[in-house]
Amino acid sequence: MTLLRRTFCTWLGAASAAALCALGAPAHAAGASAANPAWPTRSISVIVPFGAGSSPDVMSRIVIEHAAQSLGQSMVVLNRPGASGNIGTHAIAKAAPDGYTIGVSITGPLVNNPLMDANLPYRPERDLQPITLAVHQYNLLVVPADSPLKHLDDLLAAARAPQSRLNFPSTGAGTVSHLAVELLMARAQGQALHVPYPSSPAAVTSLLNGDTQFAALPPVAVMPMIQGGKLRALAAVSAQRMAALPDVPTVAELGYPGIEGSGWIGFVAPAGLNAQVLARLNAALTQALQDESVRQRLSGMHMQPAPGTPEDFARYLQQESQRWAPVIERLGLAAQPTTAAPLNAPLNAPKNTPEATPPTTDPTATSKTP
């Protein structure tokens, strides 16, 4: 059975079995159904699997500031970066499904990393509950301003050199910032070494320090550097040119269609979440994403709000699996099971054990209600 076939069946089976509202809810879900209808009575932790200043971090802080007002409780960001977002996403998956721990995640940990690593200690379609898609963002292909690579053709010529030493950073293995470049290299018959970083700011720093030579990163991370003359945009990894950079062509215009992809971000919770709690979380977050002031702040960072229902997000995750699975297989990135140690404590450990306790709260990362 092909990787695409296995992935499609997994998502489809989970969605059908749980009517899309509780993808593959595990056995402990029955206990969660007795959730206190008075929820929430205390603050809600929002795990971000990437570092402070990353696009998931920035987006989540803006959105939960408004959502906290709707829910009447504080929402606190907990950054858990590492392993291309897998550590933080695993922390969301193994948390108690009581509505007091949710999180955000992206393409890599939710869709592509399970296709590339058969030993992840969580399976998104089994262990996570979609709440809502939050935003889309499309990456820019950039180089340092003093780079001799002035155009995309220059970059690809360097990548085709017999002893290419090009390195590129990403926001993690399996993210669009990783796979879009891998796909571009495959199409252009070039080669470059992938270097994953825990956040987009860290990836940008690697460019500025000369540790890497080019990257496909979200606008929120690179636009200040482009405007400040420290980075130069070669192309937009999107179907259309960006309004903020109308003179920068897309990769499709330059002869490489089909590489564009959204670096989307979405909200998820542990599987088994009480349906009423899920509905309230979805309502609070979608209302925040539809608020005009929130939309303006996100648009100012080149993020396109895309709120919807849990069912909408579940279907989108399935579509993303179908989109990227054949790419991962074609690029030879699909991993086979090994005896590698898990990222963290096993997922099937009791959810009320000390090892499942959320990380220490950062008091500076709290969104309070008025």
Instruction: Give pLDDT tens digits for 5-41.
Output: 555 445 444 444 444 444 444 434 434 444 456 899 9
The burial class, CB within 10 Å (0-12 / 13-18 / 19+), for 304 is middle
- Model pLDDT, residue 357: 33
pTM of the model: 0.77
Residue 316 pLDDT > 50, yes or no? yes
DSSP secondary structure letter of residue 213: S
The string of pLDDT tens digits covering residues 136-151 is 999 999 999 999 999 9
Tell me which CATH homologous superfamily contains domain 44-136+263-331: Bordetella uptake gene, domain 1 (3.40.190.150)
48-63: pLDDT as tens digits: 999 998 999 999 999 9
Question: How far is 117 from 126, CA to CA, in rounded Å?
Answer: 16
The SS3 assignment for 216 reads strand
pLDDT tens digit sequence for 215-272: 999 998 999 999 999 999 999 998 889 988 999 999 999 999 988 888 999 999 999 9
Measured between alpha carbons, how far is 290 from 182 in angstroms, rounded to an integer?
34
Cα 221 to chain centroid, rounded: 14
Distances, alpha carbon 42 to alpha carbons 49, 63, 72, in Å: 22, 18, 9
Higher pLDDT, 86 or 262: 86
352 pLDDT more than 70: no
pLDDT score for 261: 80
Per-residue buried b or exposed e for 95-117, using 16+ beta carbons within 10 Å of the residue's own CB: bbbbbbbbbbbbbbbbbbbbbbb
- Residues carrying CATH 3.40.190.10, the chain: 139-254
Shortest CA distance to 179 belongs to which of 232, 226, 113? Answer: 113
Tell me: pLDDT of 360 over 50. no
Examine the pLDDT at 354 and tell me if it is beyond 80: no
pLDDT for position 258: 86
Compute the average pLDDT of residues 93-121: 95
Name the band, by pLDDT with cuts 50, 70 and 90, for residue 327.
confident
SS3 at position 357: coil
Q: How confident is the model at residue 160 (pLDDT cuts 50, 70, 90)?
A: very high
Q: Is 132 helix (H, G, I), strand (E, B) or coil?
A: strand
Question: Is the pLDDT reported for residue 343 higher than 60?
Answer: no
pLDDT at 180 over 80: yes
Choice between 351 and 172, residue whose per-residue pLDDT is larger: 172
Structure tokens at 9: 């069946």
Mean pLDDT on 52-77: 97
Whether the per-residue pLDDT at 363 is higher than 50: the answer is no
Selected from 3.30.230.10, 2.40.30.10, 3.40.190.10, 3.40.630.20, the CATH number assigned to the domain covering 139-254 reads: 3.40.190.10
| Comma-separated ranges of CATH 3.40.190.150 domains in the chain | 44-136+263-331
167: alpha, beta or left? (left if phi > 0; alpha if psi -120 to 50): beta
Question: Which residues partner with 46 through β-bridges?
Answer: 77, 102
The rounded distance, in Å, linking the Cα atoms of 38 and 65 is: 21
Q: What is the mean pLDDT of the chain?
A: 85
Provide the pLDDT for residue 32: 41
